[in-house]
Chains A and B, each alone.
Chain A
Amino acid sequence: MNIVVCVKQIPDPAAPQSLEAGSHTLDRSGKLILDDSDAYGVEMALQLAEQAGGGEVTLVSMAPNGETAGLRTALAMGAAKAILVSDDALKGSDALGTAKVLAAAIGRVGADLIIAATESSDGYTGTTPVQVAELLGLPSITFAKSVAIDGGTVKVDRQTEAGYDEVTSPLPAVVTVTAGVVEPRYPSFKGIMAAKSKPIETLSVADLGLDGGQVGAAGGRQVITSVDEAEARNAGEIVVDEGDGAQRIVTFLENLKVI
């Protein structure tokens, strides 16, 4: 059971974020970390590989400046190895350009199952995993709230508006997981030490046989024309609860005729 997990290394969401002048793309020049959303996919993959009684979990990521900090976190959780695609030509890539890169990298590994988050926590386009599936000619099941493998079939409970659907697919397939699908483990000290020597293969766009025009800002064929301040809400009344907090809410609701 060889599983590829697509992981994204993103600017720390807890730190102040900004857009670069000119391109208006997210400033990714600082330290990058493993997207929290991807920890669920890594954990799911590790558990499925363990249950299958063997096989490797391989990480595939695209990031600027040869960034590996987030990959080391996922390797410390237990992934076996990583492929990092890092190339100045990728700067400004959109979701489809990213999918082309990831699909090409996954094609080099060969996977029974490809897992990704439903969307990243920085760009949240939310289409990349399905674009990867289409480029690889594979079936996909998105928004998984549980994932199990039964022989050559993946069984997923997929979130729906009304509840959930049980969906099956033959392998290989692409599955995207929602947060909470499993509880991600914390890397152990032993895991962190072991991760330092796990292999990370770094590839360029040319290594993947992709044409530079398909990726990066040029491949995106979309442009941010302006960035404006949103209309601010007027600040309301802020009061410290002196035992009258609930009553204040009741009065507020009464004035709105909600109660």
Chain B
Amino acid sequence: MSINKIWVVVEPADAGITTTSLELLTKARDLASTVEAVTWGTNTAANAAVIGEYGASTVHDVGDLGSALPGAPVAAAIAGAIAAGNGPDAILIPTSYDGRDIAGRLSARCDLPVLTNITDLVGGDKLSTRHPVFGGTQIVSAEFTGQGPGIFVVRAKSFAAESAGGAAASVAPLSVGDLGNTNASAIVNRHVEERTGPKLDEAEVVVSGGRGLGEKENYALIEQLSKLLNGAAGASRAIVDAGWVPYSHQVGQTGKTVKPTVYLACGISGATQHMVGMKGAKNIIAVNKDQDAPIFSVCDLGIVGDVHKVLPALIEELSKR
């Protein structure tokens, strides 16, 4: 089975489409001669321009989902196309809240296996996937062995997003079919949390705190420091699990992947779970009192010291500027 046609699940965002969707459209152009998109929402006509610019010839539009979560209807629409023999050879899906729902539903509905946490794809007769394991110290390569299409769920920032200068994609409706009770959940209200400064996964500087901060109140040091550096505040899983900060701050396997110019890890030991999310930073600075902490094996500058002394001194110094 050679790979001729790839579908990319393109997630609509408040304005346009998500960055990861652009990254996957870009990569898909390397892997197949025909790239098409699957999307939903009320802005597809407008989004077809950027979807086409990044290389898709056609965008299959599931349409307005109303208050429904995307997982069930989008998966059912793709499954319908596959069942009718109109499916692609591979489906690329962003690792995101809704992307994983779509992948899981599609996999079960079509009885197709799924590969997730992909950070690279290598083309050929079959797509070969790359997955970092054990904190990114080893890379597993995998491939599907059965009938396709393969379902590939790819992590953010695995590829650069580059325009192909293409014309707007043509929009083709994709019908959903019967959903039974699977579509019964409904969004009744949306809450946007106030955020000052850049987004965690887009910031040039990320300052993250971990268990070494000692107590929840000390996370204020991380927030002050990230603000002074015009960066974003991140967190290890340990302090998210402990309820110090919301999940949206989490950097790591289960959280965000970040690739900033500078990553400053404060009181973070460097559990494998965390390393996968930040090892791609261009420069890593670590402050930790344990000189044997694994984070020191990946950092460019390591300060073996007490975050309760180093951070206030750093804040004072930066505040003068």
Give A contacts to B, CB under 8 Å.
13, 17, 19, 24, 36, 94-96, 99, 118-119, 121, 124-135, 137-143, 145, 157-170, 173, 178-180, 183, 220-230, 233, 235-241, 245-250, 252-253, 256, 258-259
A137 touches B181 (CB 8 A): yes
Q: A180-B247, A256-B283 are in contact. Are A228 and B317 (CB under 8 A)?
A: no
A129 to B71, CA, bound (A): 12
Q: Is the CB of B84 closer than 8 A to any CB of chain A? A: no
Q: Is the CB of B29 closer than 8 A to any CB of chain A? A: no
Main secondary structure of the interface of B (DSSP, over half): mixed
Specify which chain B residues have a CB less than 8 angstroms from the CB of A161 in the assembled complex: 13, 18, 96-97, 248
B310 touches A241 (CB 8 A): yes
Q: Is the CB of B63 closer than 8 A to any CB of chain A? A: no
A134 to B262, CA, bound (A): 42
A227 touches B138 (CB 8 A): yes
Specify which chain A residues have a CB less than 8 angstroms from the CB of B144 in the assembled complex: 221-222
B318 touches A128 (CB 8 A): no
From A96, A168, A228, give the contact of B113 (CB < 8 A).
A96
B187 touches A166 (CB 8 A): yes
B310 touches A246 (CB 8 A): yes
Give B contacts to A, CB under 8 Å.
13-14, 18, 69, 71-72, 75, 96-97, 100-101, 103-105, 107-109, 111-117, 128, 132-134, 136-147, 153, 180-193, 204-205, 229, 237, 240-243, 246-248, 253-254, 261-262, 264, 271-273, 279, 283-285, 287, 291, 296-306, 309-311, 313-314, 316-318, 321
Select from chain B the residue with minimum beta-carbon distance to A40. B241
B141 touches A164 (CB 8 A): no
A132 to B109, CA, bound (A): 10
Interface centre among A24, A131, A223, A245 (most CB of B within 10 A): A245
A240 touches B304 (CB 8 A): yes
B114 touches A125 (CB 8 A): yes
Interface centre among B14, B108, B134 (most CB of A within 10 A): B108
Q: A118-B254, A130-B71, A159-B247 are in contact. Are A139 and B183 (CB under 8 A)?
A: yes
A127 touches B305 (CB 8 A): no
Specify which chain A residues have a CB less than 8 angstroms from the CB of B300 in the assembled complex: 236-237, 252
Select from chain A the residue with minimum beta-carbon distance to B11. A161
B141 touches A226 (CB 8 A): yes
Select from chain B the residue with minimum beta-carbon distance to A95. B114
7 contacts across the A-B interface (CB closer than 8 A): A163-B190, A169-B184, A221-B145, A228-B139, A236-B302, A246-B313, A246-B316
From A24, A145, A233, A245, give the contact of B246 (CB < 8 A).
A145
Specify which chain B residues have a CB less than 8 angstroms from the CB of A130 in the assembled complex: 71, 100-101, 103-105, 108
Specify which chain A residues have a CB less than 8 angstroms from the CB of B116 in the assembled complex: 95, 124-127
Chain B nearest CB from A23 CB (Å) reads 12
A152 to B114, CA, bound (A): 33
Specify which chain A residues have a CB less than 8 angstroms from the CB of B303 in the assembled complex: 239-241, 245, 248-249
From B13, B108, B115, B261, give the contact of A256 (CB < 8 A).
B261
Specify which chain B residues have a CB less than 8 angstroms from the CB of A170 in the assembled complex: 181, 184
A230 touches B139 (CB 8 A): yes
A21 to B243, CA, bound (A): 39
Specify which chain B residues have a CB less than 8 angstroms from the CB of A124 in the assembled complex: 116-117, 253-254
Specify which chain A residues have a CB less than 8 angstroms from the CB of B14 in the assembled complex: 162
B143 touches A166 (CB 8 A): no
Select from chain B the residue with minimum beta-carbon distance to A233. B298
A252 touches B97 (CB 8 A): no
B97 touches A143 (CB 8 A): yes
